[in-house]
Chain A
């Protein structure tokens, strides 16, 4: 293993010498954010290699408008809101309220548990907050199929499901972007296949490398990015994550296509991104909380002073936000990047020694 680490370091050093300026690699998966800090990857690579946290935390990229809508649904007396735990401590209403303070909010580990809740509580509507990227979408479709087949009519979802590639494209389309490469999520690519990054690599010649979360996968993945940067050509590589194929999981993709339409949607920090989100097809209206409760998808201003949007886009580091570590802490988060377990600000505060 030491030999592999040495080889990786040599490649990184070579890239730094060739470029003579900081090389910026953006990771776009919240689990990568945590793993990189937990394993001190930033401290293990040359200082000229900069790892930026991008829009990889699904809770963080969810705009305040949708968070407030989820909150207002959770407050209804006829509703039980089922959500993954990550959303519970995200503040809405300028940090004054959190979902965990609403008694009828229940944390679940899977949407399948939410369906079981609906079967038990037949006098309530169980709304599942479907916040996540492509990896979460096929499972959501399977759950909708089950609810329809079993006649669980008191179940629906509020969708904050998004696709990461349109956000990557939005970042690279910015005139003064400083992103040299993307470190992509190996697990998400197991569903989508690594072919989904081809449009980005072809159009922008920016390496997109899916890796797993183990330290060696990350170190060798970063070295492979350096190799591609030295060569000056972005190319497919899937040596650093398990179970990757070019085409991904076709059955999962069919579920996504059968149940969801791709629509424009709001992202924190970006505004509206074209064809970046997934909404249930019209024929599954009754399982769509927006339609069931007659709520129009709108967006609203973020908490005043919160710079989560700039953190998500890699424009600033968490410590450059005036509220970081002062008004906004892990104990009392004001922005989603501090509230979510995979948020950049929270991870910085938890692991960073600086």
Chain B
């Protein structure tokens, strides 16, 4: 089961982080990628961030990431609109 999900880090507390993909947020362990920072895109496999993703390259070949960001931007926009 090698499927890994790309997600953005939104919060870091020690070795634990919260990541976000398409509005779904969940906790992961970042022990294997200690240099990551909030806002960075990482690959999540079975509860662990396993690699930071080079965004520029990822965008060229992984339309899914663009879709996720588009969705997030839409959500943010809608949220602001409601306020």
* Chain A residues near B (Cβ < 8 Å): 29-31, 58, 84, 86, 109-113, 132-133, 135-136, 138-139, 142, 185, 187-188, 190-191, 212-214, 216-217, 239-240, 242-243, 249, 251-252, 255, 341-342
Contacts and interface: CB of A to CB of B under 8 A. Distances in A.
> Chain A interface secondary structure, helix, strand, loop or mixed?
helix
A187 B53 CA distance: 11
A252 B54 CA distance: 18
Contact size range, B: 20 to 34
B37 to A, nearest CB: 16
B62 interface: yes
Contact of B2 (A84, A111, A188, A252): A188
Contacts of B48: 110, 138-139, 142
Given A30-B1, A84-B1, A216-B61, A249 B51 contact: yes
Given A243-B52, A243-B54, A142 B1 contact: no
Interface in B1-51: 1-4, 6, 29, 31-34, 43, 45-48, 50-51
Nearest to A255: B32
Top 9 A-B residue pairs of the complex, sorted by shortest distance between their CB atoms: A110-B47, A243-B51, A139-B48, A190-B51, A252-B32, A187-B4, A242-B58, A31-B2, A243-B53
A184 B15 CA distance: 30
B61 A217 contact: yes
Contacts of B46: 84, 109-111, 136, 139
A85 to B, nearest CB: 9
